[in-house]
């Protein structure tokens, strides 16, 4: 498995020293998971938008995907 630069953890006090890297298989999994959450939210319509946990998780995945897009150092 390829090495991955750690992402910022809660309470770490700042960004990691180097930009985050992700291997290509993990990047694909991240994007597929984000797409699945977005499809679920869309299929739930207004009901899905009122589900705070679904919204929170979708937003976290979007932020994570933005952090790794374009994937730097993908093997």
1 vs 67: which has the higher pLDDT: 67
The predicted pLDDT at position 3 comes to 53
The residues spanned by each domain of the chain are 24-67
pLDDT in tens, 32-66: 988 988 888 888 777 656 678 888 888 888 888 88
The predicted pLDDT at position 19 comes to 67
Distance CA 32, CA 30 (A): 6
pLDDT in tens, 14-35: 555 566 678 888 888 988 988 9
Q: Which of 15, 5, 7, 3 is nearest to 64 (CA)?
A: 7
pTM over 0.75: no
């Amino acid at each position: 498995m390829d090495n991955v630069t750690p992402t910022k953890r809660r309470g770490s006090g700042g960004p990691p020293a180097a930009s985050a890297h992700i291997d290509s298989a993990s990047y694909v999994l991240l994007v597929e998971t984000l797409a699945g959450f977005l499809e679920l939210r869309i299929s739930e319509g207004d009901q899905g938008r009122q589900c705070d946990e679904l919204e929170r998780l979708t937003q976290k995945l979007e932020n994570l995907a933005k952090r790794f897009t374009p994937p730097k150092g993908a093997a």
